[in-house]
């Protein structure tokens, strides 16, 4: 008995050594072999005024992952189905959830909480709209250990006022998008006196502010500002507050979403058929899928951009078109092929641009988001992104991109309304050369005031 | 008791008259563009108010008809408007361009075209309403709250279905016929006004007259009026009350459809439009009184006047408070006549 | 019947115990996000059910009053956001928020007090929509973007600073308000209110002020809703017009009806069902072979419709009917066994 046990012992010792060695190598090997997943969430609007762009938003973000991390889409005709695969330095990318908001900050916050706290996302890409982004940026400020990059929101306050150190936005805000419009109004159309009509909420004010700041800096005068509230159906009283067409040079429209059509109709009912040389709009005049509703009467008027143009040829644009064609066949609910509805659509492009910035930062830190993501956030602040038009977007000290934008013109394309890009503006800072600053009031009903000043960028003709 | 009652009533009327007088003085003398110095603007605003009220009347008359006769608060009235609007847009586009995605401009629309679309949308709305009534509301007559909850549930489902099947909240619209979408010279101090808005007023007057004749001069109308007064008695008298209810619900829903075509040609439609038109119908009926056509007319006019004049004549930068005036109007009416101007307790 | 009551009391005790131990039993997200929401919206629904069940008034203005309290608190205690930005400390905002919302409830109730039934429902819905439009359009007190960056008093803290404290506060307040409602309905006022609900003409001839009773009941409902409103902005940190939009108003009604419009407890049953279903299905894509059937709203609308058609007293009504059925079978079984 004792002998057999002793005999067994002689095998036990080497066995134990082998086991211990394996255990030792296994525990040291873990961090390098199987990387911890990076959990991403995307937040956009699937209800409300911008629900039509849900697929484009999510598709834009996923496209960046497909291009740069080796991810694969689950369904080429439905971005909402998500993506799989994709790694950064051995860390797998996990899309844990896609949030659905409705253009209101309330739902955006509850979706953000669901994505970040219930589903445990590390990083959020989104949201879509201005007021949502202000609320999300404030949430970000209260949760410094997670990182947030913008979707396509264009409110100025998000980066200039809230200034969360972990919220990054490479795309321009609504004011930056309208750079160039004031210049066109003053120099090309010869306007000196202008009426501005804008939605009475933050995006309307911000967008109009971009026009007003530039136009007034050049020496123009904004004689009237009218603010129809957001849910107006009968715009007749608001257009009645405008000067009649023979008493002013032009009108700038920053009325969007569901009001663009109604307000223009109300204008014609009050003052007769529009003379398109007297009207200019912000990006709502030119958003793909919606501007055709305006009808041919508006052909000839200029429209502010959203920082992207599908008809300005460049190598970068060709590359982006090919990428889009390869990644997506359609971006529902928008109808048509993805190359037509996505390329040049600021919703699609901005989500792509911000996701690209995120991925570049993640790659630079080799996918290491430990330590409260501090290394990642430090890297992101200095990350640059080349947008689909070939322009390099840098972040300023508020983690806000210094943008490029385009001014477009509507024209009669054989019976339907078409749009073409005429002017390009690069190097537009969020401050507009000092007009906007953290210690100054954000755009509002009377802000900015109409004062002469410097325009720190150049507007050039395209092509 | 009698002293206190008449005191309260006199106070109510006193406040109302004072408010009206103050409003008049403000508009004529104290506003930024006072009426005495800019009568054209005043006249234009007045016409805007009346034409807007006319549109409210078309939709609200359907709502009050159903409410008055069957005590059904049809919370899906706005949903009927919404569905009819989208159907009308689709039909107009198909008729004129053959393609449901191409917009249509006024120059392409003839008066006949537009009325055909109107007819189609009205029938669709009427049928939907009828189906809803027969399926869900016929067997629980008298259970007001339950019926209201049922129509609320339907409105929630319909609103969601519209969101899902119309691709988001992008606004879409229809066009008025080119012939009426022009300026009409009113021969008063060279003042021209939008023909489209006058057309709306004309349509509303015609519909109001047609409804009045129907209610006052036809047998069905007589039964409906009797039913508004005393439902139980009408049933006891052996009238086929179910048939009358069905007809009334059909007509009421049709009116929502007619209003939808007019409203969508005038402005646009999007996903929240059903809530807005439900509110409009509610306000008109609360002011005017349930079951009363005259009440719907007066309520619509008052609502249109308040909404339009407050937006036009409040000081610049303060037009945001216009919605408060609607509430003030409601408050005054509720304080002085809780059942509406022409309403009676159930 | 006392058996049923005993069973219900046991269930309630168990539920309360589970609620007290929730942070130990469930995840932080479930406790701080979902269960807190259940409590807050349960209180609002409870105010609606109180008015409906004991006052005979179905009010769709409870959400608006809840929001008004939140907006007042937000306006008073925030700085770098929209609204009045008065910048007072959170403690100073509590009383004005509750007071102003209750006062507005008094006005609303007074104006609507002479209307009954369906008419009352219409009027209160109009209040709700006008409140929504007012906060949406009047920039000085909110505007479309609403007020964000609202913080609770530091002793409560946000869910990051002191997890679960707000949850426990909401739980305690919900229990206290429930007890308060149970107490009020047994007072003279509560009894005469139920009399006014059932026989207004008779009560009036006995000298009771109908309008007065209704107004006071409505004010009490507003008081409860306003407390929930303050808790809400502490929880959410943000309030905007959508918080009191038509959708939100109908959601509270749906919660009350699903739970059961006749019993106060239905508020929390309904809120539990609604919040958890909403959370579970938030990202579900209701599509069949590529054809989109709808979103969560269609589903909840269908559930709501089914409940109204089949069991107007909601889930609690189904429970009561089940209990009654069981009891009816028991005597027969006992009789059979006895033989």
The β-bridge relationship of strands A302-304 and A401-413 is antiparallel
Residue A293: per-residue pLDDT: 64
What are the tens digits of pLDDT across the range B91-117?
999 998 888 877 787 778 889 999 999
Mean pLDDT, all residues of chain A: 87
In three-state secondary structure terms, B156 is helix
Q: Which residues pair with C292 in a beta bridge?
A: C287
- With bands split at pLDDT 50, 70 and 90, how would you rate the model's confidence at A226? very high
Is residue C226 over pLDDT 80?
yes
Is residue C150 over pLDDT 50?
yes
CA distance, residue A341 to nearest chain B CA (Å): 14
Under a CB-based contact definition with an 8 Å cutoff, are residues C230 and C40 in contact?
no
Residue C219 to residue C217: CA distance in whole angstroms: 5
Residue B323: per-residue pLDDT: 85
Contacts of B263 in chain A (CB under 8 A): 233
Residue A154 to residue A176: CA distance in whole angstroms: 9
Residue A79: per-residue pLDDT: 92
Q: What is the DSSP letter of C241?
A: G
Question: Which segment, B254-258, B286-290, B326-330, is predicted with the most confidence on average?
Answer: B254-258
Residue contact B346–C117, C-beta within 8 A? yes
Contacts of A260 in chain B (CB under 8 A): 171
Residue A150 to residue A127: CA distance in whole angstroms: 6
Under a CB-based contact definition with an 8 Å cutoff, are residues C166 and C234 in contact?
yes
Residue A32: per-residue pLDDT: 34
Residue B254: per-residue pLDDT: 97
- With bands split at pLDDT 50, 70 and 90, how would you rate the model's confidence at B314? confident
Residue contact B267–A261, C-beta within 8 A? yes
Is residue B171 over pLDDT 80?
no
Q: Stretch C288-317: mean pLDDT, rounded?
A: 85
- List residues in chain C touching B: CB distance below 8 A: 58, 107, 111-112, 114-119, 121-123, 125-126, 129-130, 133-134, 137-140, 246, 250, 253-254, 257, 292-295, 297-298, 300-302, 304-305, 308-309, 312
Q: Rounded to two decimals, what is the model's pTM?
A: 0.88
Residue contact B170–A289, C-beta within 8 A? yes
Q: What is the DSSP letter of A292?
A: G
Residues in chain B: 346
Which residues, 6+ apart, have CB-to-CB distance to A134 below 8 Å?
A105, A155, A157, A158, A161, A162, A202, C145, C148
Helix (H) or strand (E) holding C205: helix C200-205
Selecting from B148, B150, B324 the residue whose C-beta is nearest the C-beta of C134 gives B324
Residue A254: per-residue pLDDT: 94
Residue C220: per-residue pLDDT: 96
Neighbours of chain B (3+ CB pairs under 8 A): A, C
Residue B43 to residue B62: CA distance in whole angstroms: 29
Residue A322: per-residue pLDDT: 94
Which residues, 6+ apart, have CB-to-CB distance to A301 below 8 Å?
A276, A277, A279, A280, A281, A285, A409, A410
Residue A450: per-residue pLDDT: 93
Residue A7: per-residue pLDDT: 53
- With bands split at pLDDT 50, 70 and 90, how would you rate the model's confidence at A21? very low
Chain A within 8 Å of B272 (Cβ-Cβ)?
Answer: yes
Residue A463: per-residue pLDDT: 66
Helix (H) or strand (E) holding A94: strand A91-101
The domains of chain C, with CATH numbers, are: 27-338 (1.10.3470)
Is residue A24 over pLDDT 50?
no
- With bands split at pLDDT 50, 70 and 90, how would you rate the model's confidence at B22? confident
Residue A320 CB: number of other CB atoms within 10 A? 26
Residue A421 to residue A313: CA distance in whole angstroms: 11
The radius of gyration computed from the CA coordinates of chain B, to the nearest angstrom, equals: 21
- DSSP for A293-356 reads GG-GGGTT-EEE--S--SSS--HHHHHHHHHHHHH-SB-TTS-SBHHHHTTT-HHHHHHHHHHH
Choose the mutation target among C63, C148, C280, C285 for the interface with A, i.e. most A CBs under 10 Å.
Answer: C148
Residue B159 to residue B272: CA distance in whole angstroms: 8
Residue B1: per-residue pLDDT: 47
Choose the mutation target among B311, B318, B321 for the interface with A, i.e. most A CBs under 10 Å.
Answer: B311
Q: Point out the least confidently predicted range of A20-34, A360-374, C161-175.
A: A20-34
Choose the mutation target among C129, C207, C208 for the interface with B, i.e. most B CBs under 10 Å.
Answer: C129
Residue C328: per-residue pLDDT: 83
Determine the longest span between alpha carbons in chain C, in angstroms.
79
Phi, psi (degrees; rounded to nearest 5) at B169: -95, 20
Chain B within 8 Å of A299 (Cβ-Cβ)?
Answer: no
- With bands split at pLDDT 50, 70 and 90, how would you rate the model's confidence at B242? confident
Residue C237 to residue C95: CA distance in whole angstroms: 18
| Chain centre to alpha carbon of residue C63 | 8
Chain A stretch 302-361, residues whose beta carbon is closer than 8 A to a beta carbon of chain B? 332-335
Contacts of C242 in chain A (CB under 8 A): 102, 104-107
Structure tokens at C27: 């995840």
The β-bridge relationship of strands C238-239 and C147-148 is antiparallel
Residue C338: per-residue pLDDT: 52
Choose the mutation target among B49, B53, B170, B310 for the interface with A, i.e. most A CBs under 10 Å.
Answer: B170
Cα angle, residue B205 at apex, residues B201 and B207 outer, rounded to 5°? 115
Residue contact A111–C236, C-beta within 8 A? no
- With bands split at pLDDT 50, 70 and 90, how would you rate the model's confidence at B23? confident
Of B191 and A338, the structure prediction assigns the larger pLDDT to: A338
- With bands split at pLDDT 50, 70 and 90, how would you rate the model's confidence at C286? confident
Neighbours of chain A (3+ CB pairs under 8 A): B, C
Mean pLDDT, all residues of chain B: 87
Of A440 and B63, the structure prediction assigns the larger pLDDT to: B63
- With bands split at pLDDT 50, 70 and 90, how would you rate the model's confidence at A456? confident
Selecting from B45, B197, B320 the residue whose C-beta is nearest the C-beta of A229 gives B320
What are the tens digits of pLDDT across the range B120-159?
999 999 999 999 999 999 888 878 889 999 999 999 999 9
Name the residue among B85, C292, B257 with its Cα closest to residue A51.
Answer: C292
Contacts of A257 in chain C (CB under 8 A): none
Choose the mutation target among A47, A51, A105, A229 for the interface with C, i.e. most C CBs under 10 Å.
Answer: A105
Residue A170 to residue A36: CA distance in whole angstroms: 27
Of A124 and B186, the structure prediction assigns the larger pLDDT to: A124
Q: Point out the least confidently predicted range of A266-280, A374-388, C274-288.
A: C274-288
Residue B311: per-residue pLDDT: 86
CA distance, residue B259 to nearest chain A CA (Å): 14
Q: Stretch C249-260: mean pLDDT, rounded?
A: 94
- With bands split at pLDDT 50, 70 and 90, how would you rate the model's confidence at C335? low
What are the tens digits of pLDDT across the range A421-437?
999 999 999 998 888 99
Q: Is the peptide bond before A365 cis (omega within 30 degrees of 0)?
A: no
Is residue A393 over pLDDT 80?
yes
CA distance, residue C173 to nearest chain B CA (Å): 30
Structure tokens at A153: 């929101």
Residue C74: per-residue pLDDT: 93
Helix (H) or strand (E) holding C183: helix C165-184
Under a CB-based contact definition with an 8 Å cutoff, are residues C77 and C62 in contact?
no
Residue contact C122–B73, C-beta within 8 A? yes
Which residues, 6+ apart, have CB-to-CB distance to B83 below 8 Å?
B124, B125, B128, B158, B162
Please report, rounded to a whole number, the percentage of residues in chain B having pLDDT higher than 70.
Answer: 97
Residue C333 to residue C339: CA distance in whole angstroms: 10
Helix (H) or strand (E) holding C236: helix C210-236
Residue A428 to residue B153: CA distance in whole angstroms: 50
Residue A381 to residue A309: CA distance in whole angstroms: 26
Neighbours of chain C (3+ CB pairs under 8 A): A, B
What are the tens digits of pLDDT across the range C176-198?
999 999 999 999 999 999 999 99
CA distance, residue A118 to nearest chain C CA (Å): 6
- With bands split at pLDDT 50, 70 and 90, how would you rate the model's confidence at A28? very low
Residue B225 to residue B229: CA distance in whole angstroms: 6
- With bands split at pLDDT 50, 70 and 90, how would you rate the model's confidence at C98? very high
Residue contact B45–A240, C-beta within 8 A? yes
Contacts of B144 in chain C (CB under 8 A): 117-118
Q: Residue A365: which region, alpha, beta or left (left: phi > 0; alpha: psi -120 to 50)?
A: alpha
- With bands split at pLDDT 50, 70 and 90, how would you rate the model's confidence at B77? very high
- Torsion angle (degrees, nearest 10) of CA C66, C70, C75, C81: -130
Chain A stretch 430-449, residues whose beta carbon is closer than 8 A to a beta carbon of chain B? 445-446
Chain B CA closest to residue A264: B267
Q: Stretch A310-318: mean pLDDT, rounded?
A: 91
Q: Which residues pair with A284 in a beta bridge?
A: none
- List residues in chain B touching C: CB distance below 8 A: 71, 73, 136, 144-146, 148-150, 152-154, 156-157, 159-161, 163-165, 275, 278-279, 282-283, 285-286, 290, 320-324, 326-327, 330-331, 334-335, 338-339, 346
- With bands split at pLDDT 50, 70 and 90, how would you rate the model's confidence at A25? very low
Is residue A22 over pLDDT 70?
no
Residue C203 to residue A160: CA distance in whole angstroms: 63
Residue contact A48–B169, C-beta within 8 A? yes
Of C296 and B2, the structure prediction assigns the larger pLDDT to: C296
Name the residue among C294, C261, C300, C257 with its Cα closest to residue C277.
Answer: C300
Chain B CA closest to residue A295: B105
Q: Which residues pair with C239 in a beta bridge?
A: C147
Residue contact A200–B267, C-beta within 8 A? no
Residue A258 to residue A231: CA distance in whole angstroms: 9
Residue C324 to residue B289: CA distance in whole angstroms: 43
Selecting from C126, C295, C305 the residue whose C-beta is nearest the C-beta of B279 gives C126
Contacts of B173 in chain A (CB under 8 A): 261-262, 265, 293
- With bands split at pLDDT 50, 70 and 90, how would you rate the model's confidence at C248? very high
Residue C102 to residue C183: CA distance in whole angstroms: 20
Is residue A146 over pLDDT 60?
yes
- With bands split at pLDDT 50, 70 and 90, how would you rate the model's confidence at B225? confident
Structure tokens at C246: 């038509």
């Amino acid at each position: 008995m004792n002998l057999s046990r002793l005999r067994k012992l002689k095998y036990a010792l080497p066995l134990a050594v082998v086991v211990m060695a394996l255990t030792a190598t296994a525990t040291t090997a873990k961090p390098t072999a199987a990387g911890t997943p990076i959990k991403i969430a995307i937040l956009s609007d699937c209800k409300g005024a911008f629900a039509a762009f849900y697929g484009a938003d999510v598709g834009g973000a996923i496209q960046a992952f497909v291009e740069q991390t080796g991810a694969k889409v689950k369904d080429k005709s439905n971005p909402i189905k998500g993506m799989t695969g994709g790694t950064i330095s051995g860390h797998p990318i996990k899309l844990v959830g896609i949030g659905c908001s409705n253009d209101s900050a309330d739902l955006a916050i509850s979706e953000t909480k669901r994505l970040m706290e219930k589903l445990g996302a590390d990083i959020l890409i989104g949201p879509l709209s201005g007021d949502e982004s202000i609320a999300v940026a404030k949430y970000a400020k209260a949760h410094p250990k997670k990182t947030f990059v913008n979707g396509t929101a264009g409110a100025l306050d998000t980066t200039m006022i809230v200034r969360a150190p972990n919220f990054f936005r490479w795309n321009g805000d609504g004011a930056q998008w309208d750079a160039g419009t004031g210049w066109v109004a003053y120099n090309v159309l010869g306007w000196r006196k202008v009426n501005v009509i804008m939605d009475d909420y933050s995006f309307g004010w911000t967008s109009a502010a971009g026009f007003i700041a530039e136009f007034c800096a050049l020496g123009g005068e904004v004689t009237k500002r009218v603010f129809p509230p957001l849910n107006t159906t009968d715009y007749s009283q608001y257009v009645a507050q405008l000067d009649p067409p023979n008493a002013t040079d032009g009108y700038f429209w920053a009325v969007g979403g569901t009001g663009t059509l109604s307000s223009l109709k109300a204008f014609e009912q009050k003052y007769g058929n529009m003379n398109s040389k007297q009207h200019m709009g912000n990006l709502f005049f030119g958003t793909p899928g919606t501007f055709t509703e305006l009808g041919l009467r508006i052909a000839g008027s200029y429209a502010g951009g959203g920082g992207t143009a599908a008809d300005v040829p460049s190598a970068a644009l060709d590359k982006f078109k090919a990428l889009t064609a390869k990644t997506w066949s359609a971006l529902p609910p928008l109808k048509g092929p993805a190359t037509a509805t996505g390329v040049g659509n600021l919703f699609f492009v901005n989500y792509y641009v911000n996701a690209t910035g995120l991925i570049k930062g993640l790659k630079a830190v080799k996918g290491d988001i430990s330590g409260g993501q501090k290394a990642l956030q430090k890297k992101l602040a200095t990350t640059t992104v080349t947008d689909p038009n070939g322009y390099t977007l840098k972040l300023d000290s508020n983690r806000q991109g210094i943008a490029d934008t385009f001014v477009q013109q509507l024209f009669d394309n054989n019976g339907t309304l078409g749009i073409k890009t005429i002017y390009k503006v690069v190097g537009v800072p969020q401050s507009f050369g000092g007009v906007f600053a953290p210690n100054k009031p954000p755009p509002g009903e009377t802000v900015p005031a109409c004062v002469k000043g410097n325009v720190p960028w150049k507007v050039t003709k395209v092509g | 008791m009698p002293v206190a009652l008449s005191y309260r009533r006199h106070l109510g009327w006193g406040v109302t008259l004072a408010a009206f007088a103050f409003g008049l003085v403000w508009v004529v003398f104290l506003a930024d563009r006072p009426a005495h110095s800019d009568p054209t603007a005043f006249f234009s605003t007045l016409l805007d108010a009346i034409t807007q009220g006319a549109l409210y009347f078309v939709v609200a008359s359907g709502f009050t008809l159903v409410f008055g006769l069957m005590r059904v608060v049809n919370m899906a009235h706005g949903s009927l408007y919404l569905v009819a609007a989208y159907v009308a847009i689709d039909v107009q586009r198909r008729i004129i361009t053959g393609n449901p995605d191409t917009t249509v401009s006024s120059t392409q629309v003839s008066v006949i075209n537009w009325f055909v679309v109107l007819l189609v949308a009205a029938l669709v709305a009427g049928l939907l309403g009828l189906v809803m009534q027969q399926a869900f509301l016929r067997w629980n007559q008298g259970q007001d709250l339950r019926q209201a909850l049922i129509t609320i549930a339907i409105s929630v489902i319909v609103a969601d279905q519209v969101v899902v099947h119309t691709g988001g909240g992008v606004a879409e619209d229809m066009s008025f016929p080119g012939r009426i979408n022009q300026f009409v010279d009113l021969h008063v101090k060279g003042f021209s006004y939008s023909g489209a808005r006058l057309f709306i007023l004309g349509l509303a007057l015609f519909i109001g007259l047609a409804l009045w004749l129907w209610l006052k001069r036809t047998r069905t109308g007589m039964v409906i009026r009797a039913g508004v007064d005393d439902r139980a008695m009408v049933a006891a008298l052996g009238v086929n009350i179910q048939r009358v209810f069905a007809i009334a619900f059909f007509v009421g829903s049709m009116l929502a459809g007619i209003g939808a075509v007019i409203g969508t040609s005038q402005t646009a439609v999007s996903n929240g439009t059903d809530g807005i038109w439900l509110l409009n119908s509610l306000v008109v009926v609360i002011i005017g009184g349930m079951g009363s056509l005259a009440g719907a007319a007066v309520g619509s006019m008052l609502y249109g006047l308040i909404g339009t004049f407050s937006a036009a004549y409040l000081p610049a930068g303060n037009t945001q408070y216009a919605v408060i005036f609607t509430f003030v109007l409601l408050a005054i009416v509720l304080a002085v006549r809780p059942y509406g101007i022409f309403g009676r307790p159930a | 019947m006392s058996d049923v009551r005993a069973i219900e009391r046991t269930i309630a005790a168990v539920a309360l115990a589970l609620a007290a131990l929730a942070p130990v039993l469930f995840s932080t997200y479930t406790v701080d996000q979902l269960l807190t929401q259940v409590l807050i919206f349960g209180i609002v629904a409870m105010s609606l059910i109180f008015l409906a069940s004991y006052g005979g008034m179905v009010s769709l203005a409870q959400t608006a009053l809840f929001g008004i309290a939140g907006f007042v608190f937000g306006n008073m205690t925030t700085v770098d956001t929209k609204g009045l930005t008065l910048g007072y400390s959170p403690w100073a905002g509590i009383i004005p928020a509750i007071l102003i919302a209750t006062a507005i409830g008094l006005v609303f109730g007074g104006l609507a007090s002479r209307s009954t039934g369906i008419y009352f429902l219409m009027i209160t819905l109009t209040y709700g929509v006008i409140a929504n439009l007012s906060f949406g359009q009047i920039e000085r007190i909110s505007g479309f973007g609403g007020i964000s960056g609202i913080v609770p008093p530091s002793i409560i803290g946000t869910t990051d600073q002191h997890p679960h404290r707000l949850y426990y506060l909401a739980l305690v307040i919900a229990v206290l308000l429930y007890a308060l409602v149970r107490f009020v309905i047994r007072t003279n006022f509560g009894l005469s209110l139920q009399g006014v609900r059932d026989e207004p003409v008779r009560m009036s001839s006995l000298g009771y002020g109908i309008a007065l009773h209704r107004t006071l009941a409505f004010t009490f409902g507003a008081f409860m809703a306003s407390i929930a409103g303050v808790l809400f902005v502490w929880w959410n940190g943000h309030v905007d017009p959508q918080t009191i939009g038509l959708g939100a108003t109908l959601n509270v009604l749906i919660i009350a009806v699903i739970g059961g419009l006749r019993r106060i407890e239905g508020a929390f049953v309904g809120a539990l069902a609604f919040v958890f279903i909403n959370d579970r299905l938030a990202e579900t894509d209701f599509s069949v072979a590529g054809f989109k059937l709808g979103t969560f709203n269609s589903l909840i609308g269908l559930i709501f419709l089914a409940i109204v058609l089949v069991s107007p007293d909601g889930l609690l009504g189904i429970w009561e009917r089940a209990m009654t059925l069981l009891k009816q079978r028991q005597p027969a079984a006992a009789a059979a066994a006895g033989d």
